[in-house]
Amino acid sequence: MTTWTAGDIVDQQGRTFVVTGANSGLGAEATKALVKAGAKVIMACRDVDKGRAVAAPLGERAEVRRLDLADLASIREFAGSIDSFDVLVNNAGVMAVPLYRTADGFEMQIGTNHLGHFALTGLLLDKISDRVVTMSSAMHNIGSIDLDDLNWERRPYKRWPAYGQSKLANLLFTYELQRRLAAAGSKVKALASHPGYAATNLQTHTESVTGRIMALATPVIAQSAEMGTLPMLYAATVPDAVGGSYLGPSSLFETRGYPKVVKSSRKSHDEAVAQQLWSLSEQLTNVNYSFGT
């Protein structure tokens, strides 16, 4: 695994992927690699014009559809347009933005990064044949789940703890999804990944001094988006990747390098919190998972 690259992706002909946030950054790079490997990719994009610009040189196996993860109505509309497919890649996200709210009143980071993908996965689960891959972050280590104020309605809002909460939620969701799939006897598996410190436009959208500093530092110290997408691609395509695994870069404290299985925080493995977050997420999104029952 230490030198695995996109060139090692096994033949993906006949397989279909749904990739959220495919109009830029890691999602765009993943789309390019998957199409090159023979897959069809449904690019789920909030900005369809940017998505079409990415898709244009890739040919007919890259298809752009609109999806706004900050709007449950958009998620339901998108999910209703999808037929059966193989792999869902929950890649889209926002990072450390000011206090904004989604169309449904959720804090933007937990609403987009976790609740939007939770709803999308639940609505699509019975159409998925292989696996669900969800993008987390090393910043999950600073996160804590506040089940009494998940949407920052009573606490003073802090953008980085809010981001950490959303990325911790991604891991709690992935591990709980894997447990529930296994308990139901499903062949579908759930995995998570993180990109390390990769050069994408995510750092430039924080609308903060930190964001401006990161924008200056990223070209100097970050690894390329192509390298940053490798853990996600490994999780999405390697046939014997194990359900419940977490993939990240192998070098420099997981900031860069080739993909490997990595560890996540003790909080991410708290099954009681995971179950409570799951129940709360179902209540907030009004999306209930059936697992074939």
Is 292 within the bounds of a domain? no
Q: What is the mean pLDDT of residues 250-257?
A: 74
Identify whether 289 is part of a domain: no
| Res. 95: pLDDT tops 50 | yes
Q: Is residue 1 part of a domain?
A: no
pLDDT of residue 186: 97
Asked whether the predicted pLDDT for residue 220 surpasses 70, the reply is no
Residue 290 included in any domain:
no
Per-residue pLDDT at 263 exceeds 60: yes
Residue 211 falls inside a structural domain: yes
- Asked if pLDDT for residue 293 goes beyond 60, the answer is no
Check 163, 234, 246, 289 and give the catalytic one. 163
Contacts of residue 127, defined as CB under 8 A and 6 or more positions apart, other chains included, come to 82, 83, 84, 85
Report pTM. Answer: 0.92
- Bridge partners of 87, per DSSP, are 17, 131
Residue 263 CA: distances (Å) to CA of 49, 87, 132, 193, 260? 37, 23, 19, 11, 10
Question: What CATH number has the domain bearing residue 99?
Answer: 3.40.50.720
pLDDT attached to residue 225 = 87
Domain count, the chain: 1
69 within some domain: yes
Q: Is the residue at 235 inside a domain?
A: yes
Mean pLDDT of 77-96: 98
DSSP H or E stretch at residue 85: strand 85-90
Could you tell me the residue range of the domain that residue 158 belongs to?
6-284
The answer to whether residue 163 is catalytic is yes
> Average pLDDT, stretch 66-94?
98
**Distance, CA of 259 to CA of 3 (rounded, Å):** 8
**Distances from the Cα of 124 to the Cαs of 72, 134, 136, 263, 285, in angstroms?**
14, 14, 20, 28, 14
